[in-house]
Amino acid sequence: MTVRVASSDVPRALDVIREQGIVAIVRAGSPETAATSVATLIEAGLRAIEVSLVTPDALNVVRDAAAEAPSGVAIGVGTVLTSAEVAAAAEAGARFIVSPVFDPEVVRGAVEARLDVLPGVATPTEAVSAVRAGATAVKLFPASLWTPMALDEVRRALPWLETVPTGGVSPTTAPEWIRAGATAVGIGSALTRADDPAVAARSLLDAITRARK
């Protein structure tokens, strides 16, 4: 297996996620729709885009997007559940891995493949365990089980914890999560299924920027 390794002048995926504060999630019923969504989101200015494995032929969508995207854009693979899927994502050119759960083998595989990895966690105990296992950051999932206030309280005890709340986060609530200390937010259908995804993406970017001031 050949794993593509980013050159030293390409920013780390986590740095891209930190800078923009958004992981845009693409889930689609066909590879063509997914590819169109990825291209639209990149054109709108989003630079961290996760293609979920629930999308048919997702890895080929990732392969094409990773080959064509500017160096400042990080294409990742989501809904990763096994170490074999990590290896396949790495081979396709993904720069980060996202999972709905915390599996030490998935985290280990991503670390070995030199990919940033964001496993899903639902409790502070899971979050700390994931980071100790090598997680780059943690996907707070589903965020609908939490509140920004709860995240703020957790980060008072764990100020170093980098979180990406996902699942139930909307463009309206995204700034609240950022103000509570989230590194970024994960948002999918609110962007890809908007009447004008490009306008929705730019509006969200503006909201995140204002929330950080």
Q: Is residue 59 part of a domain?
A: yes
Q: Which of 85, 139, 162, 176 is catalytic?
A: 139
What six digits make up the tokens of 175? 């700034």
Q: Which residues 6+ apart lie within 8 Å of 56 measured at CB?
A: 28, 29, 30, 31
Cβ atoms 171, 187 nearer than 8 A: yes
Active site includes 213?
A: no
81: closest CA among 45, 114, 109?
109
State yes or no: is 50 an active-site residue.
yes
Domain that holds residue 129: 22-208
Residue 16 within any structural domain of the chain: no
- Cα(176)–Cα(147) distance, integer angstroms: 9
- Reported as a single tens digit per residue, the pLDDT across 180-201 is 999 999 999 999 999 999 899 9
Please write the tens of the pLDDT for every residue from 72-82.
Answer: 999 999 999 99
Q: What is the mean pLDDT of the chain?
A: 94
| % of the chain beyond a pLDDT of 90 | 93
Beta bridge partners of 138: 163
Mean pLDDT, rounded, for 112-116 = 97
Give per-residue pLDDT as tens, 34-91: 999 999 999 999 999 999 999 999 999 999 999 999 989 999 999 999 999 999 999 9
List 50, 85, 162, 176, catalytic entry: 50
**Is position 168 within any domain?**
yes
Residue 80 falls within a domain, yes or no? yes
What is the Cα–Cα distance from 79 to 71, expressed in whole angstroms? 24
pLDDT reported for residue 5: 47
Collapsing DSSP states into helix, strand and coil, what is residue 108?
Answer: helix
Number of domains into which the chain is organized? 1
Cα–Cα nearest to 165, from 21, 44, 47, 65: 21
CATH code for the domain of 105: 3.20.20.70
Structure token digits, residue 95 = 């720069």
